Amino acid sequence: MRIDAYGLSDPGKVRKNNEDAFFIGEANQLFAVADGLGGLPGGAEASQRVMELLAENLNDLAAEDTGAGLFGLINDIHQIVVQEAFHTYPVTGSGSTLTLLRIIGENLLIAHIGDSSAFLLRDGKLEKLTVDHTLEQELVTERGEAARKDMPTEYSHTLTRCLGQQINFHVDQTKKTLRSKDRLILCTDGLTRVVPLTDIAQTLAANLPPEAITHSLIDQANARSGPDNITVITLIIS
């Protein structure tokens, strides 16, 4: 199974700093995006540190790991970020989202915490592989779509889980079987907050290489005022 991948991070049109980060580990077929928490200090450092720790410890993962090693590594990274962040920022600490894919043969392992996202396009249909850990999503899950009507706008980006904080740390774990012609993206919410899913699906379905798809998605977010940092990794399976 061949995997062509390309990733890019853009600060957007409003933010001065880019608190997103991404990682492409082609040798281990591991791909990740992270979005530092803007409501806490050191968001950019937290997301970059997560990527650094992934890169430093990849060789410890077994080639045929079924998930236990990967999720153990993420837990270790979480503990390190907690310790370092609270040492630097004793009152609040820092934090980051993390959405990660690892491909082993035809098996796709997904690890996710926060409100970045993973999507799969198969046979023309776009499937979201992750669930946002936000107050908005929790209320929608509990009460249905009608809950959105009177919901404060900040609920859409108020996280209920993240990496780097001492409470409520739990990583979602999902597995899928890949097929030839599948297409995947990992992205931060700087894309999904402004670009409709129909446009994301149409762009991902285009007969274009990963680099062109990634640039197109980021350009679409920036054309809609680019209110946040935007990070996208596109993967094409053949």
Which domains are seen in the chain, by residue range? Answer: 3-237 (3.60.40.10)
- Cα 45 to Cα 136: distance, rounded to the nearest angstrom: 26
Per-residue pLDDT of the chain in tens (238 residues, 90 and over written 9)? 899 999 999 999 999 999 999 999 998 999 999 999 987 889 899 999 999 999 999 888 877 777 888 999 999 999 999 999 999 999 899 999 999 999 999 999 999 999 999 999 999 999 999 999 999 999 999 888 888 888 888 898 899 999 999 888 999 999 999 999 999 999 999 999 999 999 999 999 999 999 999 999 999 999 999 999 999 999 999 9
- Cα 221 to Cα 230: distance, rounded to the nearest angstrom: 7
**Single pTM value for the model:** 0.96
What DSSP string describes 63-80? TT--SHHHHHHHHHHHHH
